[in-house]
Structure 1
Amino acid sequence: MMTQPRIAIVVSHPIQHFCPQYASLAAISDWQVKVFFASSMGKKAYHDKDFGHSLAWSSLSLDAFEHQFLSEEALPSSKNLDAPKLDHALMAYDPDVVVIYGYWQKVQRRALAWAVGAGKRIYYISDSELAHGAGGPKSWLKTLLLRRRLAPVSRFLTVGTWNEDFYRRVGAPVSKMTRMNFPIDIAAFDHALADSKELREKTRRELGFKPDDFVIATVGKLVPRKRQADLIRAVLIAKPEARLRALVIGSGPDEPALQTLVNGDERVRMCGFISPEALPALYLASDAYAHLSSYEPHSLAISEAIYCGLPVVLSDRCGSYGPSDDVEPGANGFVFPVGDVESLAGMLSRLAQSPSLRQRFAKRSLAYALDAQHQAHGEFLRIALTADGLWNT
């Protein structure tokens, strides 16, 4: 019988949707997991310039998995983030596998170098993709550099179709890829879904929506690349019989301009910043989800929306769609050319006026999301370790 493989996960700081995944992994007896945080940001309050106020997450589940803070300071999660104590901490833990998140930060490059020097397997996670367009000499040079940088990686834990296409472009063989998917806080969502009908009706009443309103949610910081104005404009130009309503969830520097665009129109609700704990109720109050970004590698909000059974309409610059991704065009959503407000309005109106289409899309969203989160909360690691000869049944 094989001994339990030891998994070291090196991450910048406690991240609200990853910590529940670590808790799920720690609850499985087939392996040992320890998470090494370079910063206490998130556990301790920090100022987010885009949201415009201080944040500290209350649902990190830190007591549910073994972890070590390599700094007690709330250091910013920048490219210069480093943890000189990491080498000693990894040596003491002596893992079989080191999981790293990209190569952008110094701490991740330190983890990569330590694992190479110690002869450990490296599992690599990123949201890199090609959905927002790539090409030219700069892109070609980056590809060559990435081929060299990623050569020591044992396995790529992928998050979607575009992500896998990116890895193939930089020379990673399919045999070294295992689909992980990005995790969400399934415990929080399952709690809300247990009383979904009652919670939906209560939330819609509080927001002032009528039973026959077709509510489209969008979640994210109010910054230019998120393009929430496109959804607002689509709702305002749609035919009245579609009864489109927008639920704009988030805060940020674009808020005054968006409020001016809305100009008090009752068809749009601006919610401001909403805590993760309160988000499930707003998804459940909605009939569809829209993501409008000009650049979005792989959206957490889309993963959350489909877990609530929502159809999705997203721009072609979002990396969450494909034949085996959160959104499969024509199966649980539509893709529109970024910035094309008329196309967006037409797709949303079509959903609003076709209950059978909505039901079919909703069923597909939920089925895919359940499988994706099963993978993300443990099955991916079992598959990866088995493929690498580190675990068997």
Structure 2
Amino acid sequence: MSEKFRLCVVFTHPTQHHGPLWRKLSENPDLELKVLYLSDENQQSGDSFLGEAAQPWDVDLTSGYDHEYLKDLSGKVPTQRKSTVISPGLLDYIHPERCDAVFMQSFVNYSYRLTAFLCKLRGVPLIMQNDASMMSDARYSRQRLIVMSVLYPWMNNLADYWLSCGDHNEIHLRHYGVDDAKIVRGCHPIDGDRFEQTIAAQPDELQRIRRELAWDENTILYGFMGKYIERKNPFEFIDAIASAHQQDSRIRGVLFGGGDLEPAIDKRLAELDGEVINYGFVNQAKIPLYFAALDTFVVTSWIDPHPLVVSEAMASGTPPILSDHCGNWGYNDTVRHRYNGLVYPCGKPAALTEAILEMADTEVRQRYSERSTEVFSEQNLYCEVNAFLKVIERIKASGNPSTQGTASPSTSVDRVPVKTS
């Protein structure tokens, strides 16, 4: 029982959310982790959906764990994610002689599908996680939904285990044929330690940012952060802030990000009198400070399975207002209506205006801020670490031949107990 459990991760590209997770898992002395990236997106250039001002992420995404960039059929490492990417190197790695289990997120590209095929062919347990919800499926045509009702149960059950990321995600998994016995509650990882440390270490910079964004010390700041694209619905944020400002002149909105709608957004803002401003792109190193400088964070998306910016805001102590078309609200989810934030009916700017005005009350914001910090502590990076370790224990207990003789990953001093189901 001296050999380590070998976990192979197949992932599209390095991200600010998962890099810290792979690093934390690699600290476990009984776990050998190998991450296989299908592209090096975010390393050489910025996210194309964030517009021309976007830059490569300025935080470390790849140190502290073993990783490799796989070449595609052309013999080169892709610089961007592609649904058609095929990585021949998977043929060598996805084998019981090299890994005891494989983790991947979806079937969105050909390499993921090849990974699932190799796992089934060679008897390697497959662990999966996505952020899908029934609300996000509403965008699809009736014909596509019929096809999904047949295809998804078969595809989903190619995985031996699923890590769920919330209430609506679990409903989606069950709807498409995944048995409860295969589901382990996890979350999408946010490195709360980095957020907390960044905010604590730079109080002067935080105050400078606050002064830059606000009119004066009485300003109540509401933020929108993300891609300026249709499904993110930024104009609902702008219109609701403008309406709320007419009733409470302290209210101001700030947009952070970039994208295709930026010219139209700037044109709309030019019609206002500074109630909403377009701040533009902010890179990862200072993101915690900008979240912390806000009084409330708002997500207005028409379609957004599980927007992680909500968790990032909560990690910074900023309470959320969330569109009900997003997939991360519920009794045990990230946003719990009137407990740590507000959920409003998407497409109804008047309802969003009411929520914004309700959050203008200092006591309400303070109560939701404290509870947001509490809820986030149950859904941070360590929640996902625990979910992985729980699945690994199940794989070992199942007697899979590839895991015989491997040691169970131990509980490290950094592991924080959280409830899983």
Q: TM-score, normalised by structure 2?
A: 0.87
The residue that corresponds to 2:120 in the other structure is 116
The one-letter amino acid paired with 1:388 is I
Task: Note closer, same or farther for the CA distance 1:382–1:208 as it changes in structure 2 (3 Å cut).
Answer: same
**Alpha-carbon contact 1:41-1:73 (below 8 Å) kept:** no
Q: 2: distance between equivalents of 1:33 and 1:229?
A: 43
Match of 1:297 among 269, 291, 305: 305
2:166 pairs with 1:160: yes
**CA distance in structure 1 between the partners assigned to 2:382 and 2:142 by the alignment:** 36
Among candidates 105, 120, 129, match of residue 109 of structure 2: 105
- Bigger relative contact order (CA 8 A; separation at least 6): 2
Q: Is the 8 A contact 1:216 1:289 kept in 2?
A: yes
Question: Structure 2: which 5+ residue stretches go unaligned?
Answer: 398-407, 411-421
Residues 67 and 162 of structure 1: is their aligned pair in 2 closer, same or farther, counting only changes over 3 Å? same
**1:61 lines up with 2:61 in the alignment:** yes
Q: Show the counterpart of 1:27.
A: 27
Match of 2:268 in 1: 261
1:285-364 paired onto structure 2 within 5 Å: 285-353=293-361, 355-364=362-371
Residues 1:146 and 2:146 aligned together: no
What residue in structure 1 maps to residue 419 of structure 2? none
Give the count of matched residue pairs: 392
Contact 2:5 2:409 in 1 (8 A): no
Paired residue for 1:185? Answer: 191
2:220 counterpart letter in structure 1: F
Q: Which runs of 5+ in 1 are unaligned?
A: none
Deviation at 1:226, TM superposition (A): 1.0
Q: 8 Å contact 1:228–1:292 — kept in the other structure? A: yes
CA deviation string 1:177-217 (max 9, x = no partner): 11221112334312223147544422111224322211111
Once the two structures are superposed, residues 15-60 of structure 1 have per-residue CA deviations (whole angstroms, 9 ceiling, x without a partner) of 2321111111111223111100112222223661552356422324
Q: How many Å separate the matches in 2 of 1:209 and 1:96?
A: 57
Shift of 1:315: 1.0
Q: 1:229 aligns with which of 226, 235, 243?
A: 235
Normalising by structure 1, report the TM-score.
0.93
- Asked if the contact 1:42–1:74 (Cα under 8 Å) also holds between the matched residues in 2, the reply is no
Query: Is this contact kept in 2: 1:242–1:349, CA < 8 A?
Result: no
Q: 1:241 aligns with which of 223, 237, 248?
A: 248
The one-character-per-residue Cα deviations of 1:95-133 (angstroms, maximum 9, x if unpaired) are 111001100100101111111111111001111111245
Aligned equivalents of 2:178, 2:50: Cα separation in 1: 35
**CA pair 92-139 structure 1, distance change in 2 beyond 3 A:** closer
Give the root-mean-square deviation of aligned CA atoms: 2.1
Alpha-carbon distance in 2 for matches of 1:47, 1:141: 32
- Equivalent in the alignment of 2:14: 14
**Of 252, 267, 287, which aligns to 1:279?**
287
Q: CA deviation at 1:243?
A: 1.8
> How do 1:128-147 residues align onto structure 2 when only pairs under 5 Å count?
128-132=132-136, 134=138, 136-147=142-153
CA distance in 2, matches of 1:133, 1:86: 30
Structure 1 pair 173–92 and aligned structure 2 pair: CA distance change class (3 A): closer
2:40 aligned residue: 40
Deviates more, 1:259-268 or 1:118-127: 259-268
Once residues 47 and 357 of structure 2 are traced to their aligned partners in structure 1, the CA distance between those partners, rounded to angstroms, is 39
1:357-391 CA-to-partner distances (Å, cap 9, x unmatched) read 21221111111112211434521112222233353
Q: Secondary structure at the match of 1:325?
A: coil
Structure 1, 57-66 or 218-227: larger mean CA deviation: 57-66
Distance 2:279 2:53 in 1: 15
Per-residue displacement from partner, 1:310-331 (whole Å, max 9, x unpaired)?
A: 2111111111111111101111
The percentage of counterpart residues that share the same residue type is 23
Instruction: State the alpha-carbon separation in 2 of the partners of residues 250 and 38 from structure 1.
Output: 26
| Rounded Cα–Cα distance in structure 2 between residues aligned with 1:348 and 1:295 | 21
Alpha-carbon spacing, 1:144–1:375, altered in 2? closer, same or farther (3 Å):
farther
Q: 2:379 aligns with which of 365, 372, 375?
A: 372
Deviation at 1:85, TM superposition (A): 1.4
1:202 to 200, 208, 212: 208
In structure 2, C-alpha distance between the alignment counterparts of 1:205 and 1:47, rounded to whole Å: 28
When structure 1 is superposed on structure 2, of 84-93 and 299-308 the one drifting more is 84-93
- Cα separation, partners in 2 of 1:317 and 1:206, compared to 1, 3 Å: same
Which has the larger displacement, 189-198 or 146-155? 189-198
